[in-house]
Chains A and B, each alone.
Chain A
């Protein structure tokens, strides 16, 4: 079985879901991305492995960041790759936990339990409110 050619049902489903939420085409996304920091919509996916302390810590840290900085303009999906291992390959996950910022572009990956918040915010291009 050729991994990359494989379109698992899970992926299909999730992609349609993502499309619905993304509300539109790439051009629209791109235009939106041009509309400045405040208008940016964040599509985030966090890949964890079950309920290990490290996973739990990553989820907790991410929730905190989202609530504090991205209120109302983020979409977060937490994926347990123990449950859906095929998604690990689709998203090219090597290290856990990994946070993938699908939008706004460019795509970025944050590995680790996200405890270095400053690093995360910098990488997410979120300017701290003074």
Chain B
């Protein structure tokens, strides 16, 4: 039975009608079921009308499918005004015969019921509207209003059933909106008639911050996510944030990019960050987070890549001015169009809204590097779990696009420096910790790499120097009194230098001594040698003399033997 049902579903294999609504077609794998009716339900003010309107507008403008908007609640003028705020010009669409609007008003106080009736009048109007523009899409917003205008619910129900069947026969891709009831999806149980696709919109307020969410309750013949997807309604229309990247299936890049600080690159296995990784720079106030971020942005622009910089604490101008003081000229990149600094406080919007705006801005600008400075400001607008989840989504989305991300995180002075309050450190591929070391009556900045996935990295603490020419990292001194930085380091350096000089002097002295002794020895050897040479000559002379003597003696003896006529 189950299998048979499965097969039937596969045979249905719904054709989809793309809505053109950002993110919506992704989560429904193509849009709404073509030629069928979808129900969009939700409480008041959840954006049902806007979703439906955008479906029609996009259909008319992007997919060449004219549409009919039948409104039971708002007049045409109201709809035109409301849609204008989303950037849609309905009068233009109507004039060019791509849209037809009809306002159906059922006012109970004007109506007397005097006998049997049907909804044929509505059918005629729909049919006329559809034929006038050759519509492929239709919206009924909100047809349930009929129940308050007409008292005979049984007639209405039968007629609605007939209406939906009729629309299906006409092949109209339809959105019916419904108001959410207390215990049901719609007040009048419209979901009974619309069985192909049901979408629920929700609008809730948590900790004074409102979030809009969308859920596909039912979509016959389509595998769909059962999650709630955050969405927003902005001046650019209805946008749903698809959570497709939760699978962690993005490719890992081998390419390495510079952090903008040569010595830091050296600490990171000599090559810098991985492209498409998340770098977290955490530290207390005034430890140089923004400077690190700006150096990273500058490096990206130097490579000719686009970078987007979200400054939650400062205006764009302020960031540029401040960075000029450490020798980073960001304004030239802004002028070249390589750098976009977005300065805004996150508290003006809800978290979801804010992150989505962020994501859509990023998608539009298509940068290779993104900086969020500081990411901790987002916790002001949401709970930590929410922030974590939404940030993870943003990060995965960006990683999927091979965007290298740098988050700065402000650690409260009192807290443990390795406890980032967002708890996003586990998301980070590389985590740089900046800290202030206070000793010897001064504060000095230091940097350490807490972790860096997939590369051999230095375990050393480096002193972090902000100079007029940029950022420099220098070795710190570790002595019995701890890590030395700043003037303590400088004085230690002087000490070291003095000691070195003394040693050098001593070595020189010893060397001279050695040389002198050697010379002395050589001299002695030479003298001995010359003395010996004298003696040797004398001895050689004596040897010669004695030899001569001996030879003479032999000669004489021989001569004597001859003279004696010896017989030897």
Do B117 and A85 have beta carbons less than 8 Å apart?
no
Query: Is the Cβ of B106 less than 8 Å from the Cβ of A94?
Result: yes
Bound-complex Cα distance A54 to B118 (A): 9
Q: Is the CB of A88 within 8 A of B121?
A: yes
Question: Given that A1-B94, A86-B128, A89-B128 are known contacts, is A94 also in contact with B112, CB under 8 Å in the complex?
Answer: no
Nearest CB of chain B from residue A37's CB, rounded to whole Å:
18
A82 at the interface (CB under 8 A from B): yes
Kindly state the separation between the CA atoms of A110 and B324 in the bound complex, as whole angstroms.
Answer: 78
> Residue B111 at the A interface, CB < 8 A?
yes
Question: Which chain A residues border B94 with CB–CB below 8 Å?
Answer: 1-2, 5
B 99-118 to A, binary, CB cutoff 8 A, 1 in contact else 0: 01111111000111111111
B132 within 8 A of A: yes
Given known contacts A2-B76, A92-B104, A119 and B113 CB-to-CB distance under 8 angstroms? yes
Q: How far is the CA of A70 from the CA of B149 in the complex (A)?
A: 29
Total contacting residues, chain B, CB less than 8 A? 35
Q: How far is the CA of A88 from the CA of B122 in the complex (A)?
A: 8
Select one of B104, B113, B124, B149 contacting A85, CB under 8 A. B124
A80 to B128 alpha-carbon distance, docked (Å): 14
| A2-B101, A94-B146, A110-B112 known; A88+B128 contact, CB < 8 A | yes
Give bound CA distance, A86 to B125, whole Å: 7
Given contacts A2-B76, A81-B121, A95-B121, contact A112 B128 (CB under 8 A): no
- Name which residue of chain B comes closest to A111, CB basis: B117
Is the CB of A38 closer than 8 A to any CB of chain B?
A: no
A112 and B117 contacting across the interface, CB-CB below 8 Å:
yes
A26 at the A/B interface (Cβ < 8 Å)?
no
When chains A and B are docked, how far (Å) is the Cα of A107 from the Cα of B111?
Answer: 10
Which residues A61-119 have CB closer than 8 A to chain B? 61, 81-82, 85-86, 88-89, 92-99, 106-117, 119
Contact B117 A49, beta carbon cutoff 8 Å: no
Taken together as a complex, chains A and B put the C-alpha atoms of A110 and B94 apart, in Å, by 32
Q: Given A82-B124, A85-B128, decide whether A3 and B102 contact each other with a Cβ distance below 8 A.
A: yes
Please give me the residue from chain A that is nearest to B128 by CB atom: A85
Q: Evaluate contact between B121 and A93: CB separation under 8 angstroms.
A: yes
- List of A residues within 8 angstroms of B113 by Cβ: 110-112, 116, 119
Inter-chain contacts of A92 with B (CB < 8 A): 104-105
Name which residue of chain B comes closest to A97, CB basis.
Answer: B117
A116 and B104 contact, CB distance less than 8 A: no
Residue from B91, B95, B117 in contact with A96 in the complex, judged by beta carbons closer than 8 Å: B117
Question: Considering the complex, which residues of chain B in the window 385-402 have a beta carbon less than 8 Å from any beta carbon of chain A?
Answer: none
Contact assessment for B110 and A111 in the assembled complex, using a CB-CB cutoff below 8 Å = no
Cβ contact of B112, chosen from A61, A86, A96, A108, cutoff 8 A: A108
Interface presence of A129 (CB below 8 A): no
User: Across the interface, do A120 and B112 meet the contact criterion of CB distance under 8 Å?
Assistant: yes
**B370-395 CB contact bits vs A (8 Å, 1 = yes)?**
00000000000000000000000000
* A93 close to B115 (CB less than 8 A): no
User: Is B160's CB within 8 Å of the partner chain A?
Assistant: no
User: Of residues 117 to 147 in B, which have CB atoms within 8 Å of A's CB atoms?
Assistant: 117-122, 124-125, 127-129, 132-133, 146
Q: Are A120 and B120 in contact (CB under 8 A)?
A: no
Query: Is there a chain A Cβ closer than 8 Å to B465's Cβ?
Result: no
- Tell yes or no: B97 within 8 A of A by CB: yes
- A94–B119 CB distance below 8 A: yes
Assess whether B150 is interfacial by the CB under 8 Å rule.
yes
Q: How far is the CB of A83 from chain B (nearest CB, A)?
A: 10
Residues of B within 8 A of A82 (CB): 124
Asked if A42 CB lies within 8 Å of chain B CBs, one says: no
Q: Is the CB of A85 within 8 A of B114?
A: no
Q: Are B97 and A119 in contact (CB under 8 A)?
A: no
Assembly CA distance A111 to B149 (angstroms): 11
Cross-chain contact A3 with B117 (CB below 8 angstroms): no
CA of A5 to CA of B133, assembled, Å: 15
Please state if A89 and B102 are interface contacts (CB–CB under 8 Å): yes
* Chain B: minimal CB distance from A108 (Å): 6
* Nearest CB in chain A to that of B146: its residue: A94
Contact check, B121 vs A94: say whether CB atoms are below 8 A apart. Answer: yes
Whole-angstrom distance between the alpha carbons of A106 and B109 in the complex?
Answer: 11
Q: Which residue of A lies closest to B93 (CB)?
A: A2
Which residues 55-69 of B have a CB within 8 angstroms of A?
none
- B164-180 vs A, CB cutoff 8 Å, 1 = contact: the mask equals 00000000000000000
Query: Among the listed A49, A81, A116, which residue makes an inter-chain contact with B114, where contact means beta carbons less than 8 Å apart?
Result: A116
CB-contacts of A1-25 with B (<8 A): 1-5
Cross-chain contact B110 with A107 (CB below 8 angstroms) = yes
Q: Do A109 and B112 touch (CB < 8 A)?
A: yes
> Please, how many angstroms separate the alpha-carbon atoms of A3 and B67 in the complex?
13
Q: Whose C-beta in chain A lies nearest to the C-beta of B68?
A: A3
Say which residue of B95, B116, B122 sits within 8 Å of A115 (CB atoms).
B116
B91 touches A2 (CB 8 A): yes
Contact A88 B116 (CB under 8 A): no
Is A113 a contact partner of B124 (Cβ separation < 8 A)? no
Contacts of B132 in A (CB 8 A): 1
In the bound assembly, the distance between CA atoms of A92 and B91 in angstroms comes to: 21
Cβ-defined partner of A109 (8 Å) among B110, B118, B120, B133: B110
A119 vs B94: C-alpha distance when bound (angstroms): 41
Is the pair A85, B111 in contact by a Cβ cutoff of 8 Å? Answer: no
In the complex, A98→B120 CA distance in Å? 10
A57, A82, A109, A117, most chain B CB atoms within 10 A: A109
Query: Is B114's CB under 8 angstroms from A110's CB?
Result: yes
What are 18 contact pairs spanning A and B, CB under 8 A? A1-B97, A2-B94, A2-B95, A4-B101, A4-B102, A47-B121, A81-B120, A82-B124, A85-B128, A88-B121, A88-B124, A88-B128, A94-B106, A111-B117, A113-B116, A114-B114, A120-B112, A123-B114
Enumerate chain B interface residues (CB-CB to A < 8 A): 76, 91, 94-95, 97, 100-106, 110-122, 124-125, 127-129, 132-133, 146, 149-150
A-B residue pairs, 8 tightest by C-beta: A112-B115, A85-B128, A2-B94, A93-B121, A115-B115, A113-B115, A123-B112, A96-B120
Interface residues of A (CB under 8 A from B): 1-5, 47, 49, 54, 57-58, 61, 81-82, 85-86, 88-89, 92-99, 106-117, 119-120, 122-123
Known: A1-B97, A95-B122. 13 other contacts (CB 8 A): A1-B100, A3-B100, A4-B101, A47-B121, A81-B121, A89-B102, A95-B150, A96-B118, A110-B112, A113-B114, A113-B115, A115-B115, A120-B112
